[in-house]
Amino acid sequence: MSKNSQIENSFTYHSPKEGQPEKYTAIREKAKELAYLIDDVCPDSREKSVAITNLETSVMWANASIARNE
Mean pLDDT of the chain: 96
pLDDT, tens digit, for every residue of 28-60? 999 999 999 999 999 999 999 999 999 999 999
Contact 27, 62 (CB under 8 A): yes
**pTM assigned to the model:** 0.88
For the chain, the domains span 17-69
pLDDT, tens digit, for every residue of 10-28? 999 999 999 999 999 999 9
pLDDT of residue 1: 74
